[in-house]
Amino acid sequence: MTNWQSTAPAGMMARFRQVRQQTLALCRGLSAEDMLLQSMPDASPGKWHLAHSSWFFEQFVLGRDPAYRPRDPAWHYLFNSYYQSVGPMHARPQRGLLSRPSLDEVRGYRQYIDDAMSELLNRGDDPELAALVELGLQHEQQHQELLLTDIKHAFWCNPLQPAYRAALTDTATAKAVPLRFVDGREGVVEIGHRGEGFAFDNETPRHRSLLHPHALANRLVTNAEYLAFVREGGYCEPGLWLSDGWATVQREGWQHPIYWQDDLASEFTLAGLRGLDPHEPVCHLSYYEAEAFARWAGARLPTEAEWESAAQRVAVDGNLQDEQRFQPRAANGDAALLQLYGDVWEWTASPYINYPGFRPLPGALGEYNGKFMCGQWVLRGGSCVTPRDHIRASYRNFFPPHARWQFAGLRLGQDR
Amino acid sequence: MTNWQSTAPAGMMARFRQVRQQTLALCRGLSAEDMLLQSMPDASPGKWHLAHSSWFFEQFVLGRDPAYRPRDPAWHYLFNSYYQSVGPMHARPQRGLLSRPSLDEVRGYRQYIDDAMSELLNRGDDPELAALVELGLQHEQQHQELLLTDIKHAFWCNPLQPAYRAALTDTATAKAVPLRFVDGREGVVEIGHRGEGFAFDNETPRHRSLLHPHALANRLVTNAEYLAFVREGGYCEPGLWLSDGWATVQREGWQHPIYWQDDLASEFTLAGLRGLDPHEPVCHLSYYEAEAFARWAGARLPTEAEWESAAQRVAVDGNLQDEQRFQPRAANGDAALLQLYGDVWEWTASPYINYPGFRPLPGALGEYNGKFMCGQWVLRGGSCVTPRDHIRASYRNFFPPHARWQFAGLRLGQDR
Amino acid sequence: MTNWQSTAPAGMMARFRQVRQQTLALCRGLSAEDMLLQSMPDASPGKWHLAHSSWFFEQFVLGRDPAYRPRDPAWHYLFNSYYQSVGPMHARPQRGLLSRPSLDEVRGYRQYIDDAMSELLNRGDDPELAALVELGLQHEQQHQELLLTDIKHAFWCNPLQPAYRAALTDTATAKAVPLRFVDGREGVVEIGHRGEGFAFDNETPRHRSLLHPHALANRLVTNAEYLAFVREGGYCEPGLWLSDGWATVQREGWQHPIYWQDDLASEFTLAGLRGLDPHEPVCHLSYYEAEAFARWAGARLPTEAEWESAAQRVAVDGNLQDEQRFQPRAANGDAALLQLYGDVWEWTASPYINYPGFRPLPGALGEYNGKFMCGQWVLRGGSCVTPRDHIRASYRNFFPPHARWQFAGLRLGQDR
Amino acid sequence: MTNWQSTAPAGMMARFRQVRQQTLALCRGLSAEDMLLQSMPDASPGKWHLAHSSWFFEQFVLGRDPAYRPRDPAWHYLFNSYYQSVGPMHARPQRGLLSRPSLDEVRGYRQYIDDAMSELLNRGDDPELAALVELGLQHEQQHQELLLTDIKHAFWCNPLQPAYRAALTDTATAKAVPLRFVDGREGVVEIGHRGEGFAFDNETPRHRSLLHPHALANRLVTNAEYLAFVREGGYCEPGLWLSDGWATVQREGWQHPIYWQDDLASEFTLAGLRGLDPHEPVCHLSYYEAEAFARWAGARLPTEAEWESAAQRVAVDGNLQDEQRFQPRAANGDAALLQLYGDVWEWTASPYINYPGFRPLPGALGEYNGKFMCGQWVLRGGSCVTPRDHIRASYRNFFPPHARWQFAGLRLGQDR
Ligand SMILES: [Fe+3]
Ligand SMILES: [Fe+3]
Ligand SMILES: [Fe+3]
Ligand SMILES: [Fe+3]
């Protein structure tokens, strides 16, 4: 059924525990009240993330065994996100209204699932099972990232502007390396998942893609560079924007990135309000903002194929969730291309559509990615809230062009 | 400044403690998560009610002393409801996003206020102070009622339909007394607050009012009576409705009272889902529904003057918050007019406007009632969630005509 | 069926012709394109007014004769306004999409109706018929006024700001008489229609009403007076406004009356843009604005009973549609109370509700007035676009509090 | 400045006259009222199309001569569509409120422009001028098509469902040829405009594109085929739809193509209501519907590169505007690929983005196409309302995925 290979059962058990515990670790310091917050329809409460990522195992792994008894059948409706083929679901914008089950009950639910999974994983070797478990863990890691992006937005909505982790304010004030452009490959290349290790269905099939002459910036765009765009009237000049983007700027009154203060001197972070570091990558841009900046800079966004062909030759490393910094960091190092992984997701010039020959996973899991292939743009490379063992060169993230609450920025590209 | 007389300081201290403790008592069984729920812009979280009713003392009583130090100046913005003249305020629909301050901190805030109030009340006699404290307590009692209406709505939004107090399901299944009409007074009467005891500014001044020949029903309309209206197509016949009401019925898809199930056999209560008791007064009607029912029944709603002139001769008693039933009860007894107080608020035929010669309280407190005198209708008599020492014949409650989440029903009236 | 008496058939024929011709006369100078404009859901195209006022005769007068054949049965759906009991209707906001039937066809429709009506009126005496015809004519006169208010709004929406009648710019620049307050009657008075001549059902029954001591201003509020309110920050001070009014001011960005230019020196009129005459009555206010102005002026709006008891003793005369000025005029003359009739409709402090003992007309005509008795406020006295033989002391006009496009202003009142 | 070559001045004059006259010819039978209709924000009144396409010459051709005097400077604001760099513009949803200037004045405006253009074209050879004139004519042809799509929608909104041209009802009832799939080219091909003749900037530059193995259907999908999809529950099965598409189906209550009647037996056409011809191509689909149908049919939409590489070898011919049928026609003939041009625009699987190396036209004309490259999908091949000399293999049309009012359908594609 699945097309990826997975770890052996023994390793799988360890990995299962690690990922599941990491989710809980991310919730340390968040109260039951914090975990209930839903600040907008696009975001979900932390408690819901905890429950839904457990439900995923119940639905798609444990539920394959007819003998399995769900923790509470009524919760299926509450914690199904968008899988129409397994039944109706609680309306997304109302997730913040679920004070019951309580956070304690949801933690109990997680334990219930963990116990059942342990038992299942102990039963022995089953490649199909291992593949599904890996999918469930990758899914959970996506929700780890969302948990952090969502709580950041929710805290920002509170006039008290509370911090998620106060210690994060200790930031090295390194200088970003100078910007240069690095020529990319040209001609027919192969992109997409190669068939070893896990990948989502939307990364497949591996296929040939034609690259035109181009170059990529060696690092991400910095706050200082974006600040120049703001100061020079970027948000007042319709000629720099897509038509939909300009309409959004006008309608919403955008004047700077969402978490910047109006003084253009400080920004809201997971450590609370702090001074805007000019060397850090600009973060929390919409596609509209990233695209307008690139035009203003006389450049363009890279395509996802350009990005992937470059990233294929770079090992996954960088300022990822594992660093627990939860904030992008100034580019430094000698590599030709820096910051490909981590720091901020990079908006690309590529609409999110299927690869040639794409087949969604069979059954309800086919709803995971395929049905969203309209109206969104691809982002690449992961961010400072993405787990290191979750990201890879072929990974395709996607969001609508107005979305600002993700850890998203940009790298410039150029025609050659 | 105020025009009511109040209890002596000693009695005031006891009363202060009683009211404040009752607010907390109503929160028993509600978790921090429950207390954060805001299910619609018109409702507020329980925690917010706790904090705002404390802020009210801070702002309007304690703050008169320049030496008073507020618990946290930043909270002023959060817990000011709508008093524009004391500064800007947190947007009402976003009250549910305040996970911080926590419920514990808000309880601490209450204690802080209680301590400061104790000290102040101990300082000795001050009629002005006593009047303001009484206003603050009456205000708090209003929020007691709102806390219950709001949590009922929030729990109803949860597909699990949790109960606030399970024990409430034990209901006597009494039969309602038969319906009859009782002639009211005719000619010029006096209504409005007389100047003894507390009243809100909108109940003043006492003034003459001209009553036309009329009669009032001896009891409230029952579920059985309203059910007949539903079953005979009341929600499908535009001729029975006000134009705005019919537009609302169509747009919102109303087919029965908000908390009734589609089977017309059960309803959601503070004790969870239970069978619809035909003898209980119908509850949670909008003005549109009450008015349409009255037309269908060949009757009309009473005016507020008709209601008050009748209620002036009846002592305050009935199924009020003090009974802790939190659900209306079938009419019984020998009195000519039953259920004037308690059970459900009674929609009247009177738009909520000022009495002749009305003067709002001076200063910011003038915003308490006066600025809402547009687009709302008067309700009279209190409900099963109104404290007994809060209601009186001259009390004027008011809500917009589409509001359904209050404990509101109706008594029929007639021209004679 | 009806409760008014009407002219004898012979006089009725003349009156019928006069009113019908006047409607067409008001359309002179308006092209077929102008007559199709619908600038907002609350307004209707001129062509629709022409057709609907003819349909009214077809539906409620001619249709009583089973032998009558409608001009086109399909038009019933198009030109029924809101009479649910005679069938479904075209959606109000879509009236501007009816390029067919053409203006010429609608004029033909009018002729068709006029011919049929002539024949019917010639058949001889029938008091019931005469009463219905009079209702149809009064209805048509209401639409005459709406036709002018609606085209004014539509032309104002055109950046070219075209004039309806250029000659209107020649305005005498008289000075308004000084403001004084005149004591009104006190105690129980009678208001409502007396039973002679035509009246709408909502003016009945004549009934006793209790007046409290009060005074009325001798004239309407002028542009100069309202300008002072604007200049002194009236639109920036929440304390002057009803809560709903302030929310509207903020949401809509109101800074002055709708047809004033931002320079506060000129206004859009049916004669196009012209200088703001300080002596003319302020016009095109919403209830919110009128009410806020009165508060700012230390006064209040009169109640409708106060207004009517004063107007009962004043003959109908003034700057009405018959003057063809279509713009209010500075108050002058010796009478105690000036401008009661004509110039601008006067917002009152009275919500639009039924009189005690009110009975709507039987059948579909009962939908004419009664079902709108919610959320609106009463206006009195007619305006410069109201026909003289249409207005009377008991006449009750009504609009929602945010409506600005009517010729509405205010007269101050006071408690005594 | 431009990158296309154009006709010699002499031929240009003839072409200019032909295109301009054709626009007027399409308006025959439409009254001034019809020409004012704007049935939704996405559509424009016919009169506006007439004026705007003339303004385009004034702004971008005549205005290059400093001596040129515009017909009326105030009209610039009215008839600028979306060119922010030449100044602000009348709000798009309000175009239907411009009764002035009248249709006659707009016709006069056209004549004024035609006269000035004649004089200009007579001045002699100027390749730059010729290129701009050609752009203006291609622009005008786009508005010819929009004029027809917009009036079709407007007439459909009229409950009388008037016909634009009654004669169109005479339709041959040919049978569509059987469906087969034809293999397409594979490997690197060239697409985009080659540099001869006119093309819009978005068709450039010609560039290499990599085609994966695929096949295209020999003809368009028919009404009969789409009817099977409807009858078999296509609009009730979420699994067939994109997530956004399903949300739209639910929210809007879609149950069949927009102009089909609920009986699934007739459809609204420019000739009024007529029986649904099973052999005609299905028309007026949104992208969502086209994409869902393709999935249901076990196929997919072609990419624009697949389509163009096939169309490059086929001469432009088909059921285009020149046929004056204004309705698609059943596929017939021997060619391998039928109906590539005309009948209905074909939704492709390609989001509308820039070609590699794309440069928008300089100056304000750069706003023509480039700023819309977000959130839309490419359609290819023209329709029965597209002029024959306007369409070509490289032509890229684009609309948002929910748009239904265009003459749009689909051809199936397949992986091989
Ligand atoms: Fe998920
Ligand atoms: Fe309050
Ligand atoms: Fe009417
Ligand atoms: Fe255009």
Q: Please name the amino acid found at residue C85.
A: S
**Is residue C33 less than 8 Å (CB to CB) from chain D?**
yes
Which helix (H) or strand (E) element contains residue A22?
Answer: helix A9-26
**Does the beta-carbon distance from D33 to C103 stay under 8 Å?**
yes
C5 or D222, higher pLDDT: D222
The predicted pLDDT at position D126 comes to 86
B397 close to B283: Cβ distance less than 8 angstroms: no
| Alpha helices (H) in C209-264, listed in sequence order | 223-231, 243-252
Q: Given the structure tokens 């035009």, which residue do they identify?
A: A295
**What's the start-to-end Cα distance of chain B, in Å?**
42
**What is the residue-level pLDDT of chain C in tens, covering all 416 positions?**
455 555 666 789 999 999 999 999 999 999 999 999 999 999 999 999 999 999 999 999 999 999 999 999 999 999 999 999 999 999 999 999 999 999 999 999 999 999 999 999 999 778 899 999 999 999 999 999 999 999 999 999 999 999 999 766 445 668 999 999 999 999 999 999 997 899 999 999 999 999 999 999 999 999 999 999 999 999 999 999 999 999 999 999 999 999 999 999 999 999 999 999 999 999 999 999 999 999 999 999 999 999 999 999 999 999 999 999 999 999 999 999 999 999 999 999 999 999 999 999 999 999 999 999 999 999 999 999 999 999 999 999 999 999 999 999 999 999 99
Other Cβ atoms within 10 Å of D201 Cβ, number: 23
Mean pLDDT of D100-109: 98
Q: Nearest-CA neighbor of B99 among A41, A46, A100? A: A46
Other Cβ atoms within 10 Å of D254 Cβ, number: 17
Order of strands across the sheet that contains D181-183: D181-183, D214-220, D411-415
D76 close to D59: Cβ distance less than 8 angstroms: yes
**For chain A, give me the number of helices (H) and strands (E)?**
9, 11
pLDDT in tens, D110-138: 999 999 999 999 997 788 999 999 999 99
Residue A181 in this model has a pLDDT that exceeds 60: yes
D231 close to D264: Cβ distance less than 8 angstroms: yes
Residue D410 dihedral angles phi and psi, to the nearest 5°: -160, 160
Instruction: Enumerate residues 6+ apart whose C-beta is below 8 A from B271.
Output: B163, B164, B165, B166, B167, B168, B169, B326, B327
Other Cβ atoms within 10 Å of B385 Cβ, number: 27
Rounded to whole angstroms, how far apart are CA atoms C236 and C224? Answer: 19
The predicted pLDDT at position C55 comes to 98
Q: Which residues of D touch A354 (CB under 8 A)?
A: 349
Eight-state DSSP code of residue B300: B
Q: Nearest-CA neighbor of A382 among A374, A373, A370, A390? A: A390
Residue C153's beta-bridge partner residues? none
D224 close to D331: Cβ distance less than 8 angstroms: no
Q: pLDDT confidence of D1, banded at 50, 70, 90? A: very low
**Is residue C184 less than 8 Å (CB to CB) from chain D?**
no
Instruction: Enumerate residues 6+ apart whose C-beta is below 8 A from A186.
Output: A211, A212, A213, A214
Other Cβ atoms within 10 Å of C291 Cβ, number: 24
Q: Which tokens go with B175?
A: 């039969």
Q: Which SS3 state, helix, strand or coil, does residue C96 take? A: helix
**Does the beta-carbon distance from B97 to A158 stay under 8 Å?**
yes
Q: Which tokens go with C126?
A: 């029938």
- Looking at the CA of B95, which ligand is closest? 2
Rounded to whole angstroms, how far apart are CA atoms A115 and A72? Answer: 15
| Alpha helices (H) in D65-175, listed in sequence order | 75-79, 103-122, 127-157
The predicted pLDDT at position B172 comes to 61
D349 close to D300: Cβ distance less than 8 angstroms: yes
Cis bond upstream, residue A41 (ω within 30):
no
| CB-based touch C/A (3+ pairs, under 8 A) | no
The predicted pLDDT at position B127 comes to 87
Rounded to whole angstroms, how far apart are CA atoms C178 and C180? Answer: 7
Q: Which SS3 state, helix, strand or coil, does residue B388 take? A: helix
Degrees, nearest 5: CA angle D61-D63-D65: 95
Burial A304-332 (b: 16+ CB within 10 A, else e): bbbbbbbbeebebebbbbbeebbbbbbbe
Residue C253's beta-bridge partner residues? none
Other Cβ atoms within 10 Å of A228 Cβ, number: 14
Residue D101 in this model has a pLDDT that exceeds 50: yes
Q: pLDDT confidence of B8, banded at 50, 70, 90? A: low
Mean pLDDT of A212-227: 98
Rounded to whole angstroms, how far apart are CA atoms C376 and C403? Answer: 10
Mean pLDDT of A303-331: 97
Of D85, D210, D288, the CB nearest to A188: D210
The predicted pLDDT at position D11 comes to 87
**Is residue B157 less than 8 Å (CB to CB) from chain A?**
yes
* HSE, side-chain direction, 13 A CA sphere, residue C344: 30
Which helix (H) or strand (E) element contains residue B191?
Answer: strand B187-191
Residue B120 in this model has a pLDDT that exceeds 60: yes
Q: Nearest-CA neighbor of C309 among C350, C248, C370, C364? A: C350
Q: Given the structure tokens 């005690």, which residue do they identify?
A: C356
**What's the start-to-end Cα distance of chain D, in Å?**
42
Instruction: Enumerate residues 6+ apart whose C-beta is below 8 A from D333.
Output: D177
Record the pTM.
Answer: 0.97
Residue C250 dihedral angles phi and psi, to the nearest 5°: -70, -45
Residue C415 dihedral angles phi and psi, to the nearest 5°: -75, 150
Q: Which tokens go with B84?
A: 């524009």
Q: Which tokens go with C19?
A: 């009113």
Of B77, B97, B160, the CB nearest to A100: B160
The predicted pLDDT at position C1 comes to 41
Q: Which residues of C touch B241 (CB under 8 A)?
A: 371
The predicted pLDDT at position D15 comes to 96
Q: How far is CA B91 from CA A147, A250, C259, D3, in A?
A: 25, 22, 31, 55
What sign has the CA pseudo-torsion D142, D147, D152, D158?
positive
Q: Which SS3 state, helix, strand or coil, does residue A289 take? A: helix
Residue A3 in this model has a pLDDT that exceeds 80: no
DSSP of B370-398: GGG-SS-EEEES--TTS-GGG--TT--EE
Instruction: Enumerate residues 6+ apart whose C-beta is below 8 A from A113.
Output: A54, A57, A58, A62, A71
D59 close to C127: Cβ distance less than 8 angstroms: no
Q: Average per-residue pLDDT in chain A?
A: 95
Q: Which tokens go with B274?
A: 């239970």
The predicted pLDDT at position B11 comes to 87
Mean pLDDT of A220-245: 98
To 10 degrees, what angle do helices B9-26 and B46-60 make? 160
Rounded to whole angstroms, how far apart are CA atoms B415 and B393? Answer: 22
The predicted pLDDT at position B196 comes to 81
**Does the beta-carbon distance from B372 to C245 stay under 8 Å?**
no
Residue B168 in this model has a pLDDT that exceeds 70: no
pLDDT in tens, B344-403: 999 999 999 999 999 999 999 999 999 999 999 999 999 999 999 999 999 999 999 999
Instruction: Enumerate residues 6+ apart whose C-beta is below 8 A from D234.
Output: D240, D292, D293, D296
Other Cβ atoms within 10 Å of D264 Cβ, number: 15
Q: Which tokens go with A334?
A: 């000698």
Smallest CA–CA distance, residue B305 to chain C, in Å, is 13
Q: Which residues of A touch D288 (CB under 8 A)?
A: 374
The predicted pLDDT at position A1 comes to 41
Ligand 4 centre to CA of D53 (Å) is: 6
Rounded to whole angstroms, how far apart are CA atoms C310 and C301? Answer: 14
Q: pLDDT confidence of D394, banded at 50, 70, 90? A: very high
Which helix (H) or strand (E) element contains residue C209?
Answer: strand C207-211
Smallest CA–CA distance, residue C155 to chain D, in Å, is 8
Ligand 4 centre to CA of D343 (Å) is: 23
- Looking at the CA of B368, which ligand is closest? 2
Order of strands across the sheet that contains B397-399: B397-399, B377-380, B345-351, B408-409
Q: Which tokens go with D198?
A: 């006119």
**Is residue D374 less than 8 Å (CB to CB) from chain A?**
yes
Q: How far is CA B240 from the centre of its chain?
A: 27
| Alpha helices (H) in A87-200, listed in sequence order | 103-122, 127-157
Order of strands across the sheet that contains D345-351: D397-399, D377-380, D345-351, D408-409
B271 close to B168: Cβ distance less than 8 angstroms: yes
Eight-state DSSP code of residue B319: B
Q: Which SS3 state, helix, strand or coil, does residue B378 take? A: strand
Q: How far is CA B185 from CA B54, B206, B351, C356, D241, in A?
A: 42, 17, 21, 15, 66
- Cα Dmax for chain D: 65
Q: Nearest-CA neighbor of C190 among C313, C95, C75, C86? A: C313
Give the chain A residue nearest B98 (alpha carbons).
Answer: A158
Strands A377-380 and A345-351: antiparallel
Of B242, B356, B371, the CB nearest to C373: B242
